[in-house]
Amino acid sequence: MVARALSALRPEREVGMRGLIAMGGLLASAPALAQGGANSSVDILPQRPPNQRPADAANTDGRARASAEVIAVIVAAQRQPARVMQAADAARVRDLMLLDGRLDEAEIDLLDELTVSAIRAITITPAKGGEPIVTGTVSGDTLRVLEAPLEQRYRAMWDAADPVSGWAALLREARRSDPSHGRVRKFLVTMTHPAARDSTAAHTYEPARTLLSAFSRRNEQQPPADRTLGRRLQYEAFVDGDYLVGGRLPDFLYAWLK
């Protein structure tokens, strides 16, 4: 199925795993295409439903709320020579957010805003009122520090005692915003990459098949729209993971993801 779809896109050459890997390169180098909405031109991917944006469009709108303590750390970082948060500042922000052992919606939104890949300004308003401050998105080690609590949430959802409800929660995270979709996709690659790396014809691609079964058990009990999103995420994650190891997986495994 996948090979036929890719052949239709590139009729001048035979398409097998090399075609999939080329597509993997395209997806990896163009996240906006891979994370696009239902009008995506990548026809071989299941369509992605729209994000579940709240009525106030609070997700990735360049605005967030934070505690006075978190704002104080950000302001102090702006007064340093670098003028932006460094990894140590991000660690202090993370620790303040996790003092109660969990992230609330405002904290998740702040992390979502700060870790957007595009360079842009973010207006942060004190949670209990006061003058807002303006900061910017982060990168490098600072980005990795602030993404870590979100990735830990994703891991807890995947490892939930009830895999179906855990997967449903992970899909809700993916629908929070485009950057959140990208982060969930990247988290899933931490599983598809080793599965692709360790899969060979000698053991009939057992690691990849086992992971496919784990995805299926979680996804096929979801409502239709969530199943569609889940299949897209699975497909993206397998393409990304396989791309990292040079395309070891056969086409029939991708056909199962459809």
Residue of 30 and 67 predicted with greater confidence: 67
Q: Report the C-alpha gap between 224 and 44 in whole angstroms.
A: 18
Tell whether 44 and 112 lie within a shared domain. no
- Asked, for residue 149, whether it belongs to a domain, the answer is no
pLDDT reading at 1 higher than 60: no
Amino acid at 16: G
Q: Report the C-alpha gap between 231 and 235 in whole angstroms.
A: 6
Residue of 155 and 41 predicted with greater confidence: 155
Average pLDDT over residues 177-188: 92
Tell whether 188 and 214 lie within a shared domain. yes
pLDDT reading at 36 higher than 80: no
Residue 216 phi, psi (nearest 5): -65, -45
Tell whether 95 and 133 lie within a shared domain. yes
pLDDT at 18: 41
Average pLDDT over residues 228-250: 91
pLDDT reading at 19 higher than 60: no
- Asked, for residue 56, whether it belongs to a domain, the answer is no
Tell whether 31 and 94 lie within a shared domain. no
Boundary-marking domain end, from 142, 168, 202: 142
- Asked, for residue 154, whether it belongs to a domain, the answer is no
Tell whether 44 and 85 lie within a shared domain. no
pLDDT band at 50 (very low <50, low <70, confident <90, very high): low
Tell whether 28 and 78 lie within a shared domain. no
- Asked, for residue 160, whether it belongs to a domain, the answer is no
First and final CA of the chain: distance in angstroms? 8
pLDDT at 252: 85
Boundary-marking domain end, from 142, 169, 188: 142
- Asked, for residue 57, whether it belongs to a domain, the answer is no
Average pLDDT over the chain reads 81
Sequence-distant (≥ 6) Cβ neighbours of residue 201 within 8 angstroms = 250
pLDDT band at 138 (very low <50, low <70, confident <90, very high): very high
pLDDT band at 16 (very low <50, low <70, confident <90, very high): very low
Length of the chain: 258
Tell whether 25 and 74 lie within a shared domain. no
- Asked, for residue 157, whether it belongs to a domain, the answer is no
- Asked, for residue 45, whether it belongs to a domain, the answer is yes
pLDDT at 60: 63
Q: Which domain holds residue 9?
A: 2-49+177-257
- Asked, for residue 99, whether it belongs to a domain, the answer is yes
Q: Report the C-alpha gap between 194 and 186 in whole angstroms.
A: 13
pTM of the model: 0.76
pLDDT band at 254 (very low <50, low <70, confident <90, very high): confident
Relative to beta strand 121-126, strand 63-66 is parallel
Residue of 98 and 129 predicted with greater confidence: 98
Percent above pLDDT 70 for the chain: 76
Give 72-98 pLDDT, tens digit per residue.
999 999 999 989 999 999 999 999 999
**Domains identified in the chain, total number:** 2
Sequence-distant (≥ 6) Cβ neighbours of residue 96 within 8 angstroms = 67, 69, 70, 73
Boundary-marking domain end, from 93, 122, 142: 142
Tell whether 195 and 133 lie within a shared domain. no
Tell whether 69 and 27 lie within a shared domain. no
